[in-house]
């Protein structure tokens, strides 16, 4: 059985922290990070707000990301091994179809790209309020540091815009409160995934 989980949400909301814990806890679990699909800096346009447009869907090669997810769907075992994830061999008595394979797709703009959304079995979205988000973002060290005013001038407005678009699509998204402790968020999601998988078996 193949099962794809989408973990989206606001910048610095805790997506990667949650994803990393789930990978360790779930069987045969691989991950695809949206951040790995950013286009080169010279292909990122400067918008009317005066900033390079990193926080929009066109900054990402979503076609390549979609193809990566499809590659996993075609052969999760081969995908896992090529990404250094050990998958237990299936004995002759076992039916390979009964083996659960899980893919976590993680990123800040997952649910604004319909072809990808259509492949997801479960969607989670982490939210945190403006003040907390700005505080966390200011304490993070980025390879390319944020220019002054980027958060208020580009990052937060784009987050609000994309969230509104996403909500108007009426997707079955489960919202998570990013102000809860890491353990609370993890336990909530892990339990929900376990229950969903049990109901599908």
Q: Give the residue numbers annotated as catalytic, written as ranges.
A: 35
Rounded Cα–Cα distance for residues 45 and 164 (Å): 23
Task: Tell me, rounded to whole angstroms, the distance of Cα 179 from its chain centroid.
Answer: 18
Structure tokens at 130: 């403006």
Is 20 within 8 Å of 106 (Cβ atoms)?
no
Residue-wise DSSP of 6-39: EEEESTTSSHHHHHHHHHHHSTTEEEEEGGGGBP
């Amino acid at each position: 059985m193949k099962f794809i989980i989408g973990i989206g949400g606001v910048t610095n909301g805790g997506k990667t922290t949650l994803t990393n814990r789930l990978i360790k806890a779930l069987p045969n679990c691989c991950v695809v990070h949206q951040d790995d699909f950013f286009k080169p800096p010279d292909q990122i346009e400067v918008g009317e707000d005066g900033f390079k447009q990193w926080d929009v869907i066109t900054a990402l090669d979503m076609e390549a990301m979609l193809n990566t997810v499809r590659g996993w769907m075609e052969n999760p075992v081969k995908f896992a091994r090529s990404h250094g994830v050990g998958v237990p061999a299936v004995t002759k008595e076992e039916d390979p179809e009964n083996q659960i394979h899980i893919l976590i797709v993680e990123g800040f703009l997952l649910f604004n790209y319909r072809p990808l959304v259509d492949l997801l079995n479960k969607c989670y979205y982490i939210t945190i309020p403006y003040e907390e988000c700005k505080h966390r973002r200011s304490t993070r060290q980025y390879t390319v540091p944020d220019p002054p005013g980027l958060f208020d001038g580009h990052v937060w407005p784009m987050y609000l815009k994309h969230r509104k678009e996403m909500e108007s699509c009426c997707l079955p998204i489960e919202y998570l409160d990013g102000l809860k402790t890491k353990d609370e968020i993890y336990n909530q999601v892990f339990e929900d995934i376990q229950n969903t998988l049990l109901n599908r078996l």
